[in-house]
Amino acid sequence: MSHNSFGHLFRVTTWGESHGPALGCVVDGCPPGIALTEAEIQQWLEKRRPGQGKFVTQRQEPDAVRILSGVFSDERTDGQVTTGTPISLMIENVDQRSRDYSEIATAFRPGHADYAYFAKYGVRDYRGGGRQSARETAARVAAGAIARKVIPGVTIRGAVVQIGPHAVAPERMDWDQTLQNPFWCPDAEMVPVWEEHLEKIRKAGSSTGAIVAVEALGVPAGWGAPVYAKLDAELAGAMMSINAAKGVEIGSGFAAAALSGEENADEMRAGNDGPTFLSNQAGGILGGISTGQPVTARVAFKPTSSILTLRRSLNEAGEEIELRTKGRHDPCVGIRAVPVVEAMAACVLADAFLRHRGQTGGGAFAPGQHRRT
Amino acid sequence: MSHNSFGHLFRVTTWGESHGPALGCVVDGCPPGIALTEAEIQQWLEKRRPGQGKFVTQRQEPDAVRILSGVFSDERTDGQVTTGTPISLMIENVDQRSRDYSEIATAFRPGHADYAYFAKYGVRDYRGGGRQSARETAARVAAGAIARKVIPGVTIRGAVVQIGPHAVAPERMDWDQTLQNPFWCPDAEMVPVWEEHLEKIRKAGSSTGAIVAVEALGVPAGWGAPVYAKLDAELAGAMMSINAAKGVEIGSGFAAAALSGEENADEMRAGNDGPTFLSNQAGGILGGISTGQPVTARVAFKPTSSILTLRRSLNEAGEEIELRTKGRHDPCVGIRAVPVVEAMAACVLADAFLRHRGQTGGGAFAPGQHRRT
Amino acid sequence: MSHNSFGHLFRVTTWGESHGPALGCVVDGCPPGIALTEAEIQQWLEKRRPGQGKFVTQRQEPDAVRILSGVFSDERTDGQVTTGTPISLMIENVDQRSRDYSEIATAFRPGHADYAYFAKYGVRDYRGGGRQSARETAARVAAGAIARKVIPGVTIRGAVVQIGPHAVAPERMDWDQTLQNPFWCPDAEMVPVWEEHLEKIRKAGSSTGAIVAVEALGVPAGWGAPVYAKLDAELAGAMMSINAAKGVEIGSGFAAAALSGEENADEMRAGNDGPTFLSNQAGGILGGISTGQPVTARVAFKPTSSILTLRRSLNEAGEEIELRTKGRHDPCVGIRAVPVVEAMAACVLADAFLRHRGQTGGGAFAPGQHRRT
Amino acid sequence: MSHNSFGHLFRVTTWGESHGPALGCVVDGCPPGIALTEAEIQQWLEKRRPGQGKFVTQRQEPDAVRILSGVFSDERTDGQVTTGTPISLMIENVDQRSRDYSEIATAFRPGHADYAYFAKYGVRDYRGGGRQSARETAARVAAGAIARKVIPGVTIRGAVVQIGPHAVAPERMDWDQTLQNPFWCPDAEMVPVWEEHLEKIRKAGSSTGAIVAVEALGVPAGWGAPVYAKLDAELAGAMMSINAAKGVEIGSGFAAAALSGEENADEMRAGNDGPTFLSNQAGGILGGISTGQPVTARVAFKPTSSILTLRRSLNEAGEEIELRTKGRHDPCVGIRAVPVVEAMAACVLADAFLRHRGQTGGGAFAPGQHRRT
């Protein structure tokens, strides 16, 4: 029940503030014998790293990850492998510019967690957002890199499907496009629209929300569990724990409210490799358990609260103030959230896989198979 | 990490299938000295109980709850009170009509969890849906009744705000209306619209989805915790664990994607009883911690999968079949979900309260208060 | 982190007081497809049942267990099997004689948990000890019966090895004897000694402590995990949670303090079925992980606090009193603890097995095997 | 259910191997506003640090701890304080002499965890014991330093009470002596006896076991909880998780087996500050809940397995070998365990305090107080 841990058999504990000496995580429960190097983790951090375009924060962090424990190599291991013991990862904070924080030290920035932290703890590290900083998500991405190696048959990919009012039409989704532009945009024609929109927002010192879609291909039937460990319940909790997330949906999600039962019930036919579903309104999960279809989810992100417009607020003394949040920031945090959403999906799935293997041995029963006695 | 438990200090474990002798739950961690009778729990079960209208399932269950442990009374306790030890609740299944289940014993009903359970476990109790039955939610409602007593200053209320394509406009929300009609509808003018819509669906043997809104009034600032125990993350996980839930949003939710930073950042002014927020896009939660505003969420429910239309599917032998799901069922499961959504909110909040009290002593720092050293 | 649950993947939650309508447990995480009937559980409860001799409490409880959920049978399952969903077990309290509890209602019996419960909760069910009653252990024995079926290759057996000052010499241990006398005594010559000793104690209205030994045969190498999930750490926690337990030791235990390193380090030789150890000071566990040797532990139980001698104490009003605890009771609770110790060992081992299978796939590497990459 | 975490509201996760770049821990759930500096933690590490005498390992590690997160200071905090967010502690391994490990790289040292780790994981970091190294306990001591600050009214102190066959008589216990000699010995007359004994063992390249006693003064009544979160059960699990621990007892422990009920039931009288107990056989815990008396426990440690005598064993290839464990080592690991035992007690008590505060508000009911309704 740690507040800063998630997962069960594959369990991740993150720590660190934006302006402390470092941040990191401990990954406990990773199976042994998995090849793992810092470079493999680093590649996913690069994907997340800020400073890659003018529409994301200009903070320049190398985000170099170090593996401090849990791996080993000798002449017999064929490279460095996990040992089954906890993997400690650390990323030093090297870009802690000695800014002047006096303006926000006692101010509650509207839409930020400043006031909530103060109300709860009576003390807070206000520098760069402290523990509420999106920098914490670097540790998630690093953990997610390990999770992916626990479930090598699963491919997890994310995309931004809406920025402000501009949504990608489902029929325009082309996953190959997501790596061709700085927005993880799956629709080439949408790229210039978003570019223009974000440029306008950036110049105005404003910000905008976004929606991120994620899907996991190759998840076999049987992962997840009733009732409170439903795969979709765990995905929902994990996604909503990401900074700025305000909504999560699985499969058809909120649109399901307007569907009829006929539309919603994914029909099945016999296929060569097990059942074939004729649609995927369920998002690959029924009764909390994976069905073998792609697992699909969408996550809504609010606009970042750091804007240049003067906003009314209070300070710690209870006085009414007006403030604007200066300095580097993201006009659209949703863009940077893509690798984080992917990482959380990877961690949830790795954990579900290990638990499924624990409780049942790990296989899936296919129609036609005999049941156990 | 039980699959059938949720919560931490206020922890609920449910058990039971639709057609076993009984179902129930164990509530562990309830504080001592709280007055609690079966009648108090029963009133919330009545609210949930099927058979209250023609648009919900006609199954007639008295759903009489028994308290089997965790309470005590003598001449000094002024009525029956909790003792701090686990409270075991049981509801007998009295309406297990001896139906013929042979038709669905080996069939996977499309949209149901039948196939997923089979794939995972290789065996399943198919009678009435077994563990996947919505009857499990009776235990949640009973646990929620106890949770409400743990946080007596908090009022939790739910409403259906959309059925099929017919959504209640935000400006039409009138919470007093929800108890005046069989749909928990907060808009009197919408009632006949839904009635007509549901009647049509019922006659067609079809079903429809819905959206449920819930809000908690009186939650003080400071409940919840970073990072993976965020109050919104726990609400999201709890709501998505309800049968047929496909989406969860907090505050402005998915609509936040289209907002600007100016619109989204709830401004603050000094009030007589602490800070006053000028809007509540955040849904009462910032950084995962409550702010003192109403906590608001919405949950999307898919149409029930039990419909009279023939649908294509498979059976356990892997053969292609067509089936319709006969018998009593809900044309709109979202209606019956209202008390369940309320109960889950109550349990999450009671748990957050106890943990907040554990880690910090339970108070909230108000602007102007001195911080601790 | 429930207070009334233990285990992780195989998780048991118990509930119930001595004088409530019933007590029971929920076993969550039991693998599917395991044959399980009430009769199989009942046989272990019979072993525990009081009223089987004049040296254990005369309370006459049939302790009939009911399975309320989690099992299923149809024509294809070859008998009733587990489904992987939570198994709820209930035992009704039928022997709640309407005693007069007025004498102890407000008194703190010395050595009992009365005062501690009062100090913590401010209210307590004093009838028959309430939640502190040894009746709670009936639920553990029932859960243990299921645990044994999860690890069919493991044999768990317990014995009383000391009562009062009379200890069985290690070289006199004969496990076959334990079922031949009412004391689980593994030494036929010790039986009359204990009999005489207990008779004297019983007549005096006094009580005596005891030591119970338990061993698990057939545990393969690899179960358990570093560091805080060590198999011996989990056994220690589980055993110390039994009523009246005051000490736990693994292998040579406290005697290890006086051993030399040469005596203590169990040497190994190659055997036909893997390594052969030349001694077992370690009690089958090294570094918290099983080695393939028998897992051995011993648990010390204090004398029951219910004695007929007048003892000085306080009542709830803070007044000094003297009281004796009348009514049926055990002169030696350690005797009845044997099946409980066995059950706890079974639950810990079943849980360790499932987690080992989850994290590693479940096998054990034997010397000579290639390591993974 | 992390394997490398313990505690619930005050939760510690340790990581690191003996010969990796560093080791450390994350302390999650520490209350906010507690003054905390590296120097305060360091003082406890110094107490544990090897290289302080010829009877403990000669490994020279500065064991300098760094706080990487979870604290903050500005002009208003009156020094550095905790913020309520996770506290990450790191200790670099600076004394990793580039030894030749080829001799033990494939050998299973008898009495060590080498074989068990290999059997479980198929791969292991054999350098210096890897994760099984007692260096892991440095992280526990660091966490314990924080735990002590969570419960400032509680004093925790440990002593060695037996080395080899030489036990300190209870009536000779003088806690003030423990800081006057390198053995934590509470009996000045025993010091030269142990000195001679250890010198003989050291010269012989052998080792010996020991027993450590610990007590916590100032624990109020009410901490701990039935049934599986009993304070004694949690202490037992925590102590048994320490390297080389083989036994744990609370209060009179194993000696309770030979006591009569009259001797064992601690009588109570009214005192000025609440109840006065006339003895403390219970070790300050009844029914798993603290009584206000000193909490007392004893832990048995086996002799270290690293000895210079040739012992028979196997290697990873399954071949029979003979080996001796060269290099620095402790002739008596029990001596160094004292600060670790203290630290584990501190962590268990801090966690119990926070949970007690969470569930009940944290107070204790004294005789004469009115109960709640």
Whole-number pLDDT of residue D51: 43
Q: Which one of B16, B77, B85 has the shortest CB-CB distance to C17?
A: B85
Catalogue the E-assigned strands of chain A. Answer: 5-6, 11-16, 22-28, 65-67, 71-72, 81-82, 87-92, 155-163, 166-167, 210-217, 245-250, 268-271, 274-277, 285-286, 289-290, 295-301, 311-314, 320-323
CA-based nearest residue to A351, from A223, A250, A241: A223
First to last CA, chain D: 36
Residues C209-238: b if buried by 16+ CB within 10 A, e if exposed: bbbbbbbbeebbbbbbbbbbbbbbbbbbbb
Contacts of D102 (CB under 8 A, 6+ apart): none
Whole-number pLDDT of residue D94: 86
Q: How far is CA A23 from CA A18, A345, B137, D68, in A?
A: 8, 21, 41, 7
Do β-strands B210-217 and B155-163 pair in parallel, antiparallel, or remain unpaired? antiparallel
Whole-number pLDDT of residue D326: 73
**Cα gap D134→D121, rounded to integer Å:** 20
Whole-number pLDDT of residue A314: 95
Backbone angles phi, psi at C203, to 5 degrees: -65, -35
User: What is the tens place of the pLDDT at every residue in D115-134?
Assistant: 999 999 999 999 888 999 99
pLDDT-wise least confident of C16-25, C70-79, D353-362: C70-79
**Cα gap D98→C66, rounded to integer Å:** 63
Arithmetic mean of pLDDT, B292-318:
94
**Which residues in chain D are contacts of B226 at CB distance < 8 A?**
85
Arithmetic mean of pLDDT, C87-101:
82
Contact between C119 and D365 using a beta-carbon 8 Å cutoff? yes
A367 found inside a domain: no
Measured between CB atoms, does B8 come within 8 Å of chain D? yes
* Tokens 């064991």 -> residue: D63
Whole-number pLDDT of residue C61: 60
Which residues, listed in sequence order, are joined to residue A65 by a DSSP beta bridge?
Answer: A91
Do β-strands D210-217 and D289-290 pair in parallel, antiparallel, or remain unpaired? unpaired
Arithmetic mean of pLDDT, D213-224:
98
DSSP D175: G
Arithmetic mean of pLDDT, C246-265:
96
Helix (H) or strand (E) holding D322: strand D320-323
**Which residues in chain B are contacts of A329 at CB distance < 8 A?**
none
Please report, rounded to a whole number, the percentage of residues in chain D having pLDDT higher than 70. 93
Contact between B371 and D31 using a beta-carbon 8 Å cutoff? no
User: What is the tens place of the pLDDT at every residue in D243-276?
Assistant: 999 999 999 999 999 999 999 999 999 988 889 9
User: What is the tens place of the pLDDT at every residue in B204-247?
Assistant: 999 999 999 999 999 999 999 999 999 999 999 999 999 999 99
Contact between D358 and B357 using a beta-carbon 8 Å cutoff? yes
Cα angle for residues B272, B273, B275 (degrees, 5° grid): 90
Q: Indicate the pLDDT class of residue C50, thresholds 50, 70 and 90.
A: very low
**Cα gap C310→C306, rounded to integer Å:** 10
C368 found inside a domain: no
**Which residues in chain D are contacts of A83 at CB distance < 8 A?**
121, 123-125, 130-131
Q: Which two tokens stand for residue A280?
A: 């995927």
Contacts of C212 (CB under 8 A, 6+ apart): C158, C159, C160, C161, C184, C298, C299, C301, C334, C337, C338, C341
Find, in chain A, the residue whose alpha carbon is nearest to that of D86: A15
* Angle between the N-to-C axes of helices A136-150 and A333-360, in degrees from 0 to 180, rounded to the nearest 10: 40
Whole-number pLDDT of residue D285: 98
Q: What is the secondary structure of D32-84 as a DSSP string?
A: SS-B--HHHHHHHHHHH-S-SSTTS--------EEE-SSEE--TTSSS-EE-S
Q: What is the secondary structure of B315-339 as a DSSP string?
A: BTTS-EEEE---SS--S-HHHHHHH
Contacts of D370 (CB under 8 A, 6+ apart): none
Q: How far is CA D24 from CA A92, A105, D1, D240, in A?
A: 16, 31, 19, 20
D107, HSE (Cβ side, Cα atoms, 13 Å): 20
Arithmetic mean of pLDDT, D86-92:
97
pLDDT < 50 positions in chain A: 50-51, 373
Neighbours of chain D (3+ CB pairs under 8 A): A, B, C
Q: How far is CA B311 from CA B208, B329, C213, in A?
A: 16, 16, 60
Are the C-beta atoms of residues A253 and A296 closer than 8 Å to each other?
no
CATH for D315: 3.60.150.10
Q: Which two tokens stand for residue B95?
A: 């309406």
Residues A177-213: b if buried by 16+ CB within 10 A, e if exposed: bbeebebbbbbeebbeebbebbeebbeebbbbbbbbb
The number of domains in chain D is 1
**Cα gap B128→A15, rounded to integer Å:** 46
Contacts of D123 (CB under 8 A, 6+ apart): A32, A33, A72, A77, A81, A83, A84, C371, C372
By residue range, what is the domain housing residue A26? 5-359
Residue-level length of chain A:
373
Measured between CB atoms, does B369 come within 8 Å of chain D? no
User: Is B51 a residue whose pLDDT tops 50?
Assistant: no
User: Is D23 a residue whose pLDDT tops 60?
Assistant: yes
Contact between C229 and D368 using a beta-carbon 8 Å cutoff? no
ipTM value: 0.95
Are the C-beta atoms of residues A130 and A243 closer than 8 Å to each other?
no
Measured between CB atoms, does A372 come within 8 Å of chain C? yes
B159 found inside a domain: yes
Is A206 marked within a binding site? no
Whole-number pLDDT of residue B327: 65
Please enumerate, by residue number, every residue of B annotated as part of a binding site for FMN: 131-133, 243-244, 287, 302-306, 328
User: Is D355 a residue whose pLDDT tops 90?
Assistant: yes
A372 found inside a domain: no
**Cα gap C273→B372, rounded to integer Å:** 63
A319 found inside a domain: yes
* Tokens 């039935």 -> residue: D226
* pTM of the shown model: 0.96
Whole-number pLDDT of residue A315: 94
Neighbours of D330 (CB within 10 A): 24
**Which residues in chain D are contacts of B360 at CB distance < 8 A?**
31-32, 84
Are the C-beta atoms of residues B186 and B309 closer than 8 Å to each other?
no
Whole-number pLDDT of residue D330: 80
Q: Using CA atoms of A255, A258, A263, A264 in order, give the dihedral in degrees to the nearest 10.
A: 60
User: What is the tens place of the pLDDT at every residue in B262-280?
Assistant: 999 999 999 888 899 999 9
Contact between A318 and B164 using a beta-carbon 8 Å cutoff? no
* Angle between the N-to-C axes of helices C333-360 and C38-48, in degrees from 0 to 180, rounded to the nearest 10: 140
Q: Which two tokens stand for residue B137?
A: 């939610």
Contact between D2 and A29 using a beta-carbon 8 Å cutoff? yes
**Cα gap C199→C208, rounded to integer Å:** 11
Contact between D260 and C233 using a beta-carbon 8 Å cutoff? no
A161 found inside a domain: yes
**Cα gap B235→B6, rounded to integer Å:** 11
Q: What is the secondary structure of C256-302 as a DSSP string?
A: GGG-BHHHHS--EEEETTEEEES--TTTTEETTEE-SSPEEEEEEEP
B12 found inside a domain: yes
Whole-number pLDDT of residue A61: 60
**Cα gap C357→A226, rounded to integer Å:** 20
Q: What is the secondary structure of A318-353 as a DSSP string?
A: S-EEEE---SS--S-HHHHHHHHHHHHHHHHHHHHH
Q: Indicate the pLDDT class of residue C47, thresholds 50, 70 and 90.
A: confident
User: What is the tens place of the pLDDT at every residue in B145-187?
Assistant: 999 999 999 999 999 999 999 999 999 999 999 999 999 999 9
H helices within A86-225, ranges in order? Answer: 102-105, 114-121, 136-150, 190-204
Contacts of D274 (CB under 8 A, 6+ apart): D221, D292, D366, D367
Single-letter code of the amino acid located at D181: N
**Which residues in chain C are contacts of D118 at CB distance < 8 A?**
365, 367
**Cα gap D333→D300, rounded to integer Å:** 11
Are the C-beta atoms of residues A347 and A12 closer than 8 Å to each other?
yes
Are the C-beta atoms of residues A41 and A89 closer than 8 Å to each other?
yes
* Tokens 């290839």 -> residue: D317
CA-based nearest residue to D83, from D148, D142, D31: D31
A63 found inside a domain: yes
